[in-house]
Structure 1
Amino acid sequence: MTGKLDHIGIFVESLERAVPFYETLIGRGAPVIREVPELGLRLAFFTRQGGEIVELVEASGRTEMKHGDVVVALEVDDLEAEIARLRAAGIKAYHQKPTDNLPLHRGWITKGDGHGTIIELCPKGEVARFVAGGAGGAVAG
């Protein structure tokens, strides 16, 4: 693990209601919107060149997350090795395989296993490339 924060995700009830608030709060302009219907997700990414990513997540599918929950996404150099390392230490870490509209292989530690916090493990640079359009998926807004 690099020990670096990759991004932060915030679960919201509605992107339409939350986006104007976050546009004003963090001052980065309009976000990149991504639709992931196969997972029941709509995502809004606020980013700037060379800066951190703040992701808003609207979930309509089955999930343990609720409005206000936060995902802490950590950067990893080697996802497979990191999941193996965590499992060897007794931490339950799971794979999230890529989908058509979210072509990222990621790791997860669930809210229940993460002491109330959802931890996402992200291969270095992959989320930034996805937001920029370099990892597939269409920009919806």
Structure 2
Amino acid sequence: MAISINHVAVYVADLERARRFYETYFAARAGDEYHDPRTGLRTYFLSFDGGVRLELMTRPGLSASAPQPAHGWNHLALSVGSTTAVDELTARLRHDGFEILSGPRTTGDGYYESVAVDPEGNLIEITV
């Protein structure tokens, strides 16, 4: 049996703002919005080159999660293909007012990366 991750999902407070962030900075392609009128759930599946998908979800009554660090998922790592692309995207995000927590730098385990915070407060690791 071959196992692969089909997609990763994250709840967000502002679905449209989150969609625009990933489309603008990571060339994500959003599918049609899904809406379940019974529960109020709204989602977008975002597709990236290479087949990776991210599901953005929102619904009425969401509450903020525990502050970082906390148990559970820590970050989403997105590969942009080169050290130059990491540098350029990090500079663009910084210029556009997004918080950069670290880097660009080579980590102790050999990754070239930076870490940015998306509009929802999620950590995005930008890697080669």
Q: Give the TM-score, by structure 1 length.
A: 0.39
Structure having greater relative contact order (Cα 8 Å, sep ≥ 6): 1
Give the number of the structure whose alpha-carbon radius of gyration is greater. 2
Normalising by the residue count of structure 2, what TM-score does the alignment of the two structures yield? 0.42
